[in-house]
Amino acid sequence: MKKSIIYFLFAILFSISLSTLNSCREKKTPGEKNEEGAKKVGEGIEEGAKEGGDDVKKGVKKAGDEIEKGTKKVGDKIEDATDNN
């Protein structure tokens, strides 16, 4: 008799725990899941674009600085060449 009561209580507790675990899950429609996934991807793309944009800006600035140095050197050489004549 005691074993059957213990088994019965164990079965009830097990059933309650399963129903609690399943009822806590948020239920979403496939459309909602797609929207959430698209939103996450969009946020990732925006973040990547910001980071990439910073790298591009730095690269362009560095290239601009190198061009300035190069044109200054060329200008100096032209001046030196024309000063001797």
Name the DSSP letter for residue 84.
-
Q: Tokens at residue 77, please?
A: 């050489």
Tens of pLDDT, residue by residue over 17-50, are 777 666 556 777 777 888 888 888 878 777 877 7
Q: Count CB neighbours of 53 within 10 A.
A: 10
pTM comes to: 0.38
- In the chain, what percentage of residues exceed pLDDT 90? 0
Contacts of 36 (CB under 8 A, 6+ apart): 28
CB-CB contact of 9 with 17 (8 Å)? no
